[in-house]
């Protein structure tokens, strides 16, 4: 094993070595915050953990509807001004059947891909510390890919997450949660098209997260790693690419194209995040290895890191149940006597899709984001993305370094 896989394994060892120190830090944080928000004794109880695993969108009785709508305005897309684009429109219906069974049905329209399958599954929560789902959903691979698009700090996920993470699929997923950790295991049965790309083959996905639930009051620690392995892959379903972190830019600066004779795909990822009141940071490193008939395997990798700071007395909202991020809960909503919430964020990202005879290219980006949360349903976003460099010899995108600016209005009803 060579290349980016060695780098990922090295980072994994370092993260595991830090886990013990993080555990001690979490106890210190708990002692510091007990005077403000006493941690309930129920936090160690299986019934409390079970309540964390049940998604907040599920009603106590009956069913409920929800929707999302993202309207983007890429200011530099047209000489005469911004062109409004429907980036996403999603509707979902969720319903409980008794105490343990739940269903979720979702229709999702995305710009460039049209109407496609989204989260459509049935779940069982009869165990006190575990949850089983069967249907179409995102396998738990990487922190950004499991967090809702309505809860992302930036308009789009980072370069390596889009290019290298697992995609939506039909699968059986098992999640187990205890006081300090989360384990996800998925068996991929079939694949669905998403964003003009599809991925072939069956597979397994494992995702482990160290996330102590004793930490509360706008504080969290998250350390994790993922592994996935797909077999029965094909060259049509083995393609890696990404836009430059603005979806309305219909250009893939880096793109491997279909990889001939691909038959198996392995992935590794590492992730870490920290929320401490107004400040938070998040980072991930991802790698993929594609095995080919009659040729050597090829390796791709990438990483991103970002920091976020709320100018108001607000914080990112961490879901201790499944280890993802949710919509920010606003302390002082706009039009109710408050300013809303303002968040400033900076992200650096990199992806390398070139190895041996596959010249997918390399890209480096630097992004700045400013978010204004008017209330729990409405957010206005601005992203300034500077493509620092594209290294893709022979392509029209080689040596490109555009500056991209876009606005978004986001409405969410859960």
User: pLDDT (tens digit, 9 = 90+) per residue, 124-150?
Assistant: 999 989 999 999 998 999 999 889 889
Residue 21 pLDDT class (50, 70, 90 cuts):
very low
Q: Give me the DSSP letters along 184-244.
A: EEEEEEEE--BTTB---SEEEEEEEEE--TT--SSEEEEEEEEEEEEES--STT---EE-S
Helix (H, G, I), strand (E, B) or coil at 68: strand
Looking at residue 35, the DSSP 8-state letter turns out to be T
Please state, for a pLDDT cut of 70, what percent of the chain lies above it: 84
| pLDDT for 8 beyond 80 | no
Homologous superfamily of 4-413: Porin (2.40.160.10)
The pLDDT of residue 34 is 34
Q: Give me the DSSP letters along 295-362.
A: EEEEEEEEEEEEEEEESSS---EEETTTTEEE----SS-BTTTB--EEEEEEEEEEEEEEETTEEEEE
CA distance linking residue 165 with residue 233, whole number of Å:
15
CA distance linking residue 242 with residue 115, whole number of Å:
20
Q: Rounded to the nearest 5 degrees, what angle is found at the Cα of 351, between the Cα atoms of 346 and 352? A: 155
In the chain, DSSP finds a helix count (H) and a strand count (E) of 4, 21
Residue 263 pLDDT class (50, 70, 90 cuts):
very high
Higher pLDDT, residue 302 or 168: 302
| pLDDT for 19 beyond 90 | no
User: pLDDT (tens digit, 9 = 90+) per residue, 198-207?
Assistant: 677 899 999 9
Residue 151 pLDDT class (50, 70, 90 cuts):
very high
């Amino acid at each position: 094993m060579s290349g980016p896989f060695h780098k990922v394994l090295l980072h994994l060892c370092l993260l595991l070595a830090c886990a013990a120190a993080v555990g001690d830090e979490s106890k210190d944080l708990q002692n510091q915050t007990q005077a403000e928000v006493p941690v309930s004794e129920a936090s160690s109880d299986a019934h409390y953990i079970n309540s964390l695993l049940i998604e907040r969108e599920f009603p106590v009785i009956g069913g409920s509807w929800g929707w999302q709508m993202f309207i983007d305005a890429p200011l530099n897309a047209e000489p005469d001004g911004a062109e409004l684009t429907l980036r996403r429109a999603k509707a979902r219906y969720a319903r409980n059947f008794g105490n343990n069974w739940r269903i979720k049905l979702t229709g999702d329209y995305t710009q460039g891909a049209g109407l496609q399958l989204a989260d459509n599954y049935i779940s069982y929560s009869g165990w006190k510390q575990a949850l089983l789902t069967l249907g179409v959903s995102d396998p738990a691979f990487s922190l950004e890919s499991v967090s809702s698009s309505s809860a992302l700090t930036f308009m789009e996920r980072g370069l390596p997450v889009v290019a290298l993470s697992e995609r939506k699929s039909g699968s059986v997923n098992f999640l187990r949660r205890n006081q300090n950790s989360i384990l996800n295991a998925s068996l991929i049965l079939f694949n669905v098209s998403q964003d003009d790309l599809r991925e072939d083959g069956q597979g397994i996905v494992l995702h482990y997260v160290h996330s102590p639930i004793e930490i509360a009051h706008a504080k969290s620690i998250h350390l994790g790693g993922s592994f996935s392995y797909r077999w029965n892959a094909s060259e049509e379903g083995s393609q890696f690419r990404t836009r430059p972190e603005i979806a309305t830019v219909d250009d893939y600066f880096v793109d491997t194209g279909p990889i001939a004779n691909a038959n198996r795909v392995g992935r590794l990822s590492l992730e870490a995040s920290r929320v401490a009141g107004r400040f938070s940071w998040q980072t991930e490193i991802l790698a993929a290895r594609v095995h080919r008939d009659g040729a050597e395997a090829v390796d791709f990798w990438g990483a991103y890191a970002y920091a976020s700071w709320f100018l108001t007395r607000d914080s990112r909202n961490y879901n201790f149940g499944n280890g993802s991020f949710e919509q920010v809960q606003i302390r002082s909503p706009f039009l109710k006597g408050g300013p809303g919430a303002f968040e400033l964020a900076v992200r650096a990202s990199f992806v390398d899709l070139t190895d041996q005879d596959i010249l997918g290219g390399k890209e480096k980006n630097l992004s700045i984001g400013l978010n204004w949360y008017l209330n729990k349903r409405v957010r206005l976003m601005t992203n300034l993305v500077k493509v620092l460099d594209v290294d893709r010899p022979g392509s029209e995108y080689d040596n490109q370094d555009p500056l991209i600016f876009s606005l978004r209005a986001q409405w969410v009803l859960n």
